[in-house]
Amino acid sequence: MTADDSFNRLDDDYPAYTMGRAADMLGTTQGFLRALGEARLITPLRSAGGHRRYARYQLRIAARARELVDQGTPIEAACRIIILEEAQRFNAEYRRAAESTNPTAAA
């Protein structure tokens, strides 16, 4: 393994965490992670053996879902809220990128 291979494995998109490890890190149950998958908020990748693997960005989304659920929000509503939050974040990043490449268009 080269240094470049090691760096890629630390990427936010790399599915490095098993379901058990992810649940431990989030302080939740595996069932909660399954429920997020069933709600299609996060879709874990599968190992060759069929086991769920989670990436860091998925764990951040799951942590936000847990925060909302802990505040009393039903899981389905929490998923919708997070999807809207992510869309707003994406749109803001897109706008910033567009403005930086064409500053006159923003005026």
Q: What is the pLDDT of residues 40-55, one digit of tens each?
A: 999 999 999 999 999 9
Quick one: average pLDDT of 18-37? Answer: 96
Rounded to 5°, the CA angle 52-58-61 comes to 135
Sheet holding 45-46, edge to edge: 17-18, 52-54, 45-46
Bigger pLDDT: 74 vs 2: 74
Quick one: average pLDDT of 13-34? Answer: 95
